[in-house]
Protein backbone atom coordinates (compact mmCIF):
# COMPACT_ATOMS: atom_id res chain seq x y z
CA UNK A 1 0.00 0.00 0.00
CA UNK A 2 2.77 2.37 0.91
CA UNK A 3 4.48 1.61 -2.37
CA UNK A 4 1.24 2.26 -4.26
CA UNK A 5 0.77 5.62 -2.55
CA UNK A 6 4.35 6.56 -3.33
CA UNK A 7 3.81 5.71 -6.99
CA UNK A 8 0.62 7.75 -7.00
CA UNK A 9 2.44 10.68 -5.45
CA UNK A 10 5.11 10.44 -8.11
CA UNK A 11 2.54 10.51 -10.92
CA UNK A 12 0.76 13.51 -9.38
CA UNK A 13 4.09 15.25 -8.94
CA UNK A 14 4.96 14.64 -12.59
CA UNK A 15 1.62 15.96 -13.82
CA UNK A 16 2.08 19.17 -11.87
CA UNK A 17 5.67 19.47 -13.03
CA UNK A 18 4.55 19.19 -16.65
CA UNK A 19 1.83 21.79 -16.25
CA UNK A 20 3.26 24.59 -14.14
CA UNK A 21 0.31 26.78 -15.12
CA UNK A 22 -3.01 24.97 -14.93
CA UNK A 23 -5.67 26.21 -17.29
CA UNK A 24 -8.31 27.66 -15.02
CA UNK A 25 -10.90 30.33 -14.89
CA UNK A 26 -12.36 32.09 -11.86
CA UNK A 27 -15.82 33.57 -11.62
CA UNK A 28 -15.77 36.64 -9.41
CA UNK A 29 -18.41 38.93 -7.97
CA UNK A 30 -21.33 37.38 -9.78
CA UNK A 31 -24.75 38.82 -9.03
CA UNK A 32 -28.28 38.75 -10.37
CA UNK A 33 -30.33 41.85 -10.88
CA UNK A 34 -33.56 42.28 -8.98
CA UNK A 35 -36.54 41.56 -11.19
CA UNK A 36 -38.33 44.42 -12.84
CA UNK A 37 -42.10 44.04 -12.34
CA UNK A 38 -43.67 42.63 -15.48
CA UNK A 39 -40.43 41.48 -17.03
CA UNK A 40 -40.30 37.74 -17.68
CA UNK A 41 -36.51 37.55 -17.93
CA UNK A 42 -33.66 38.25 -15.54
CA UNK A 43 -30.02 39.18 -15.94
CA UNK A 44 -26.77 38.08 -14.33
CA UNK A 45 -23.37 39.75 -14.23
CA UNK A 46 -19.86 39.15 -12.96
CA UNK A 47 -16.25 38.77 -13.95
CA UNK A 48 -14.53 35.79 -15.56
CA UNK A 49 -10.78 35.69 -15.04
CA UNK A 50 -8.70 33.27 -17.07
CA UNK A 51 -5.47 32.49 -15.21
CA UNK A 52 -4.56 29.78 -17.68
CA UNK A 53 -2.54 29.75 -20.84
CA UNK A 54 -5.42 28.64 -23.05
CA UNK A 55 -8.55 30.51 -24.03
CA UNK A 56 -11.68 29.45 -22.18
CA UNK A 57 -15.04 29.50 -23.89
CA UNK A 58 -18.25 29.99 -21.92
CA UNK A 59 -20.99 28.18 -23.81
CA UNK A 60 -23.89 28.36 -21.40
CA UNK A 61 -25.21 28.38 -17.89
CA UNK A 62 -28.09 27.02 -15.91
CA UNK A 63 -30.10 28.14 -12.91
CA UNK A 64 -33.17 26.52 -11.37
CA UNK A 65 -35.25 29.70 -11.35
CA UNK A 66 -35.15 30.16 -15.15
CA UNK A 67 -36.09 27.83 -17.96
CA UNK A 68 -32.96 28.68 -19.91
CA UNK A 69 -29.91 30.94 -19.72
CA UNK A 70 -28.57 32.71 -22.77
CA UNK A 71 -25.35 34.65 -23.22
CA UNK A 72 -26.17 38.13 -24.50
CA UNK A 73 -24.36 41.26 -25.50
CA UNK A 74 -25.52 44.73 -26.35
CA UNK A 75 -24.90 46.08 -29.79
CA UNK A 76 -25.35 49.68 -30.80
CA UNK A 77 -27.67 50.51 -33.66
CA UNK A 78 -27.49 54.25 -34.18
CA UNK A 79 -28.75 55.75 -30.94
CA UNK A 80 -30.30 52.50 -29.82
CA UNK A 81 -28.82 49.56 -27.99
CA UNK A 82 -30.27 46.17 -28.57
CA UNK A 83 -29.47 42.74 -27.20
CA UNK A 84 -28.07 39.92 -29.22
CA UNK A 85 -27.66 36.26 -28.21
CA UNK A 86 -24.18 34.77 -28.51
CA UNK A 87 -23.27 31.11 -28.92
CA UNK A 88 -20.17 31.54 -26.82
CA UNK A 89 -18.14 34.06 -24.89
CA UNK A 90 -14.36 33.73 -25.17
CA UNK A 91 -12.19 34.55 -22.18
CA UNK A 92 -8.71 34.91 -23.69
CA UNK A 93 -5.76 33.25 -21.97
CA UNK A 94 -4.39 35.43 -19.18
CA UNK A 95 -7.21 37.88 -19.56
CA UNK A 96 -10.63 38.65 -18.14
CA UNK A 97 -14.09 39.48 -19.40
CA UNK A 98 -16.63 41.44 -17.38
CA UNK A 99 -20.34 40.88 -17.71
CA UNK A 100 -22.08 44.10 -16.75
CA UNK A 101 -25.24 46.13 -17.38
CA UNK A 102 -25.08 47.50 -20.90
CA UNK A 103 -22.55 44.90 -22.02
CA UNK A 104 -22.21 41.15 -21.86
CA UNK A 105 -24.67 39.48 -19.54
CA UNK A 106 -26.36 36.22 -18.75
CA UNK A 107 -30.02 36.41 -19.71
CA UNK A 108 -32.25 34.31 -17.50
CA UNK A 109 -35.07 33.35 -19.82
CA UNK A 110 -38.61 32.85 -18.51
CA UNK A 111 -38.13 33.19 -14.77
CA UNK A 112 -40.40 30.88 -12.81
CA UNK A 113 -40.54 33.47 -10.01
CA UNK A 114 -39.14 36.99 -9.57
CA UNK A 115 -35.56 37.57 -8.43
CA UNK A 116 -35.74 39.17 -4.98
CA UNK A 117 -33.02 41.12 -3.21
CA UNK A 118 -31.40 39.01 -0.52
CA UNK A 119 -32.05 35.70 -2.25
CA UNK A 120 -29.13 33.53 -3.29
CA UNK A 121 -29.29 31.20 -6.28
CA UNK A 122 -27.12 28.35 -7.49
CA UNK A 123 -25.69 29.19 -10.89
CA UNK A 124 -23.69 26.78 -13.04
CA UNK A 125 -21.38 28.14 -15.73
CA UNK A 126 -20.52 25.70 -18.52
CA UNK A 127 -17.38 25.84 -20.65
CA UNK A 128 -16.61 24.27 -24.02
CA UNK A 129 -13.94 21.96 -22.57
CA UNK A 130 -16.42 20.43 -20.15
CA UNK A 131 -15.41 22.50 -17.14
CA UNK A 132 -18.21 23.80 -14.98
CA UNK A 133 -18.17 26.41 -12.24
CA UNK A 134 -20.84 26.26 -9.55
CA UNK A 135 -21.59 29.53 -7.83
CA UNK A 136 -23.83 30.93 -5.12
CA UNK A 137 -25.06 34.16 -6.61
CA UNK A 138 -26.87 36.89 -4.66
CA UNK A 139 -29.67 39.05 -6.00
CA UNK A 140 -28.93 42.75 -5.78
CA UNK A 141 -31.05 45.83 -6.25
CA UNK A 142 -31.10 47.87 -9.39
CA UNK A 143 -28.63 50.70 -9.09
CA UNK A 144 -30.06 53.87 -10.53
CA UNK A 145 -27.90 56.70 -11.77
CA UNK A 146 -25.72 54.95 -14.31
CA UNK A 147 -28.75 54.05 -16.37
CA UNK A 148 -29.02 55.01 -19.96
CA UNK A 149 -32.57 53.85 -20.52
CA UNK A 150 -32.05 51.06 -22.99
CA UNK A 151 -34.57 48.53 -21.89
CA UNK A 152 -33.08 47.89 -18.52
CA UNK A 153 -30.43 45.29 -19.32
CU1 LIG B 1 -30.21 40.13 -22.56
pLDDT digits (tens, 9 = 90+) for 111-136: 999 999 999 999 999 999 999 999 99
Q: Tell me the pLDDT of the chain averaged across its residues.
A: 86
Q: What whole-number distance in Å separates Cα of residue 25 and Cα of residue 95?
A: 10
Q: How far is CA 125 from the centre of its chain?
A: 5
pLDDT at 85: 97
Please check whether the domain covering 21-140 is classified as CATH 2.60.40.1890.
yes
CA of 153 to the centre of ligand 1 (A): 6
Rounded to the nearest whole angstrom, what is the distance from the C-alpha of residue 59 to the centroid of ligand 1? 15
DSSP-assigned letters across all residues of 52-113: SSS-EEEEEEEETTEEEEEEEEEEEETTEEEEEEES-EEE-TT-EEEE-TTSSEEEEEEESS
Q: For residues 38 and 20, which has the higher predicted lDDT (pLDDT)?
A: 38
pLDDT of residue 92: 97
Tell me how far the alpha carbon of residue 107 lies from the centroid of ligand 1, in angstroms: 5
Calpha distance 34→138 (Å, rounded): 10
From ligand 1's centre to the CA of 70, what distance in Å? 8
* Cα–ligand 1 centroid distance for 72 (angstroms): 5
Residue 25 Cα to ligand 1 midpoint, Å, equals 23
User: What is the model's pLDDT at position 3?
Assistant: 59
| 60 alpha carbon – ligand 1 mean position (Å) | 13
pLDDT tens by residue, 46-68? 999 999 999 999 999 999 999 99
Cα(13) to centroid(ligand 1), Å: 45
- Using one digit for the tens of pLDDT, what is the confidence trace for 94-109? 999 999 999 999 999 9
Residue 26 near residue 94 (C-beta atoms within 8 A): no
Q: What is the mean pLDDT of residues 32-40?
A: 93
Question: What per-residue confidence (pLDDT) applies to 142?
Answer: 78
Report CA(93)–ligand 1 centroid distance (Å).
25
pLDDT for 21 beyond 50:
no
Q: Report CA dihedral (91, 93, 94, 97) to the nearest 10 degrees.
A: -10
pLDDT of residue 25: 94
Using CA atoms, how far apart are residues 123 and 3, in angstroms rounded to an integer? Answer: 42
Amino acid sequence: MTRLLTAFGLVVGLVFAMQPVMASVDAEEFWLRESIPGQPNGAGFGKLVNHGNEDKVLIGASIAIAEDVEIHRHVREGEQMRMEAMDALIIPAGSEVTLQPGGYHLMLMSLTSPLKVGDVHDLVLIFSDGDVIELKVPVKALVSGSHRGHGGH
